Amino acid sequence: MSSSNQHDHSHFEASEKNAKKLYFALALTTTFLIIEVITAFMTQSLALLSDAAHMLTDAAALAIALVAIKIGQKPADDKRTFGYQRFEILAALFNALMLFVVALYILFEAYQRFENPPEIQSIGMLVVAILGLIINLISMKILLSSSKESLNIKGAYLEVLSDALGSVGVIIGALIIYFTGWMWIDTLIAVLIGFWVLPRTWILLKQSIHILLEGVPEEIDIEKLRSDLLMLEGVQSIHELKVWAITSRKVVLTVHLVAPDVDQKKLYDQAFHILHERHHISDMTLQIEDDNWHKHQHAK
């Protein structure tokens, strides 16, 4: 017996809602990115250029997240029986790799500047950083709720969050430079931004790779799940238990239950209820076998 309880309509509505949020955040980010890049070169601020680089990855991440949503809405076909939903995870992986590249570039550039820090125009640096922080805070507020549900949106949210902290760092750096004249502070702030971004990027990268390798989702306690199924009346053993995720919201399970002399319909309903209510899995394939069938399969 098998069941595929896919909430396609609600999934589509959630995707459309996320897409609208991403469109708005992308428009804000792209507009300010142009301003920040121009100002970074005018003021010669590496911290501001670092912030602009992060803003560029923000725009790219938001655009990629949008593309992932649109492709993910395509229906399943004979070649993609799960549809295109996993494109969300590919987008998250790409965003993580992009963040790594940007952080490493900033660290390399900072290393070269420590010995000979350039003259920094702190006032222009301060004004643009404040505007950038405001834009980032607006984008964060827009994406926050969806980032808890989608790894794709989470990747975009982390991009914006890291950029917001970068803006805070640039503001602090600009104030210190203005009052002390310590130009090396600009480079130090850029380094701190880079080191803050790297570990969070690593977490996103690991989560994405884990899903692509079809690992057991972190929220699933596989031992508790196995124990719950074995506790069902009539179940002697289970095998072929597999749990994996298609996307950050779609968990799939398959399992064979060895249960001779039982009402299979009743057992199926009980197993479905436990998996759905206790473990929040609704897309599953349950095969109920009698003992003779199981022995026959192993004798082959």
Residues 120-143: tens digit of each pLDDT? 677 877 887 888 888 888 888 887
pLDDT tens figures, 18-71: 777 788 888 888 888 888 788 777 777 766 676 677 677 778 777 877 777 777
242, 255 contact by CB (below 8 A): yes
Among the candidates 159, 184, 212, a domain finishes at 212
Strand 283-289 to 251-258 pairing: parallel
Among the candidates 191, 212, 233, a domain finishes at 212
Do residues 73 and 192 both lie within one domain? yes
What are the DSSP calls for 232-250, one per residue? STT--EEEEEEEEESSSS-
Residue 39 domain-assigned (yes or no): yes
121, 44 contact by CB (below 8 A): yes
3-state secondary structure 60-98: HHHHHHHHHHHHHCCCCCCCCCCCCCCHHHHHHHHHHHH
Do residues 18 and 164 both lie within one domain? yes
Do residues 15 and 80 both lie within one domain? yes
Q: Quick one: average pLDDT of 181-210?
A: 81
Do residues 241 and 295 both lie within one domain? yes
Cα separation, 205 vs 71, whole angstroms:
21
Do residues 171 and 50 both lie within one domain? yes
Cα separation, 281 vs 51, whole angstroms:
41
Mean pLDDT for the chain?
78
Place of tokens 């984008």: 139
pLDDT tens figures, 253-269: 999 999 888 888 899 99
Domains in the chain: how many in total? 2
Residue 118 has pLDDT above 70, yes or no: no
Question: From the CA atom positions of the chain, what is the Rg in Å?
Answer: 25
Residue 165 has pLDDT above 60, yes or no: yes
148 torsion bin: left (phi>0), alpha (psi -120 to 50), beta (else): alpha
Residue 217 domain-assigned (yes or no): no
Residue type (1 letter), 56: L
- Tokens for 110, please give them: 């900072």
Q: How far is CA 167 from CA 51, 193, 198, in A?
A: 6, 9, 17
Do residues 166 and 236 both lie within one domain? no
pLDDT bracket for residue 16 (50, 70, 90): low
pLDDT given for residue 50 in this prediction: 67
CA 157 to chain centre: 8
Do residues 118 and 192 both lie within one domain? yes
Do residues 188 and 237 both lie within one domain? no
Q: Which residues span the domain enclosing 179?
A: 2-212
pLDDT tens figures, 277-294: 898 887 898 998 876 555
pLDDT tens figures, 62-87: 787 777 777 777 777 777 777 777 77
Do residues 237 and 160 both lie within one domain? no
Do residues 8 and 125 both lie within one domain? yes
CA 276 to chain centre: 24
Strands (E), the chain: 2-4, 237-245, 251-258, 283-289
CA 174 to chain centre: 32
pTM of the model: 0.68
CA angle 128, 132, 136 (to 5 degrees): 175
CA angle 205, 208, 214 (to 5 degrees): 140
pLDDT given for residue 296 in this prediction: 52
